[in-house]
Amino acid sequence: MLRNRYVRVVMLSRILQQLGIWIRNFAILLYVTDLTHNDSRYVSLISVVEYAPILVFSFIGGTFADRWRPKLTMVWCDLLSAISVGLVLAALSQSSWYVLLAGTFVSACISQFSQPSAMKLYKNHVPGEMLQSVMALSQSLVAVFMVLGPMAGAFIFQQYGIVTSLVITGILFGGSSLVLILLPKDLEQSSSGTVSNFKEEMKAGLRYMWSNRSLRVLSWTFAVVGLAAGLTQPLALFVVTEKLGLHKEFLQWPLMANGAAMLVGGGVVMTLTNKVRPQTLLAAGLVISALTTALIGASTIIAFSMMLMVINGLFYPCIQIGIQTLIIKNTEAAYIGRVGGAITPVFSGMMVMGMFVSGYFKETTSLLTVYMTSGILLLLGTIILIPLWHNRPEVSLEAGVR
């Protein structure tokens, strides 16, 4: 898999990106909490700034990714992210800390153009039988930085401060842009039969997605999974304090255990890439996550709860890798950006909706009820997936591979 030049270069770029993002995000989080004396309103504003671009720009970025050359798009996106960090640094000494949020927002918007381009490169240049392994490797990178990212970000900020953290972030984004230059030159895109009007291309993408049964099923599955995740994500702290009777500082340990388990799970999936279909991976991940989620909401035993969080982390990559592999295998190369840009906000939007109502839901019912509801939603996602069990990919696995 790593013999493929596209996989090797994009993964190295992603390592630099992820490290830069975690250092920036944690530095901003700690800096803002210091300035605002742990005001939860401003902390939540940071999350809004990070998630809003996904909802607003994901489909637009995906449409442009289908029009533009992927290598050039990715190089410029990372370069612009580095420049935005430099502008934030220049303005920080003269302006309010709100400029940090503006810089984060701009960088998050830019990433909505870069990510679909990477998917397009995989579709065009990675053989179909390798796609699941590539998705597993991508998920493993995310898991690695879920464990190491907070540690690196907190250490650099606490030792050197916000300015050094942002300088390092800018260097990492710039380094990612330079790494991407190593990709082969973009293929010339045929203009025959393409729609030149941006609005029409967006409509064509939505029509394509709606006409593709597999993508419709995956969209509904993604929506249900997003809502389930959103319901429980803000309440992990209350599992620690209310169910386990521990101090809030203990939360870091189950989170790190969960992240480490995700890393192991992603590695296991890579070894199973030619033995297990993505539908099976996704269904297994949903069923196990449903059971562990419900049990986490009920458990009052520390060791049992930790074990459940580890199991949950082990199978979570099955969900992400299964969905991403199915999207690529069931989408033509010309529509990869738009399909990814349409499905991603479905997950993010439903997750934000779940996060918005989870606190009220808990206060009016109970923590157990919220976690049980999340588990039921995940089982519902498995049921929605049934039409895909006997489906073959709706496009050739080798379509577009160069």
**What would the pLDDT profile of 311-330 be if each residue is shown by its tens digit?**
999 998 888 888 878 887 88
Q: What is the pLDDT of residue 396?
A: 44
Instruction: Look at residue 181 and give its three-state secondary structure.
Output: coil
Fold type of domain 198-388: Growth Hormone; Chain: A; (1.20.1250)
Cα(165)–Cα(157) distance, integer angstroms: 6
| Of the listed ranges 26-40, 157-171, 210-224, 348-362, the one predicted with least confidence | 26-40
Q: Which residues lie closer than 8 Å to 244 by C-beta, 6 or more apart?
A: 250, 300, 302, 305
pTM score, whole prediction? 0.67
Q: What is the pLDDT of residue 400?
A: 45
Residue range 167-177, pLDDT digits in tens: 999 999 999 99
- CATH code: domain 5-180 is 1.20.1250.20
In which element (H, E) is residue 310 found? helix 302-329
Where exactly does CATH 1.20.1250.20 map onto the chain? 5-180, 198-388
Residues 6+ apart with CB under 8 A from 379: 286, 287, 290
> What gap in Å lies between CA 173 and CA 115, rounded to an integer?
14
Token digits for 266? 């992603």
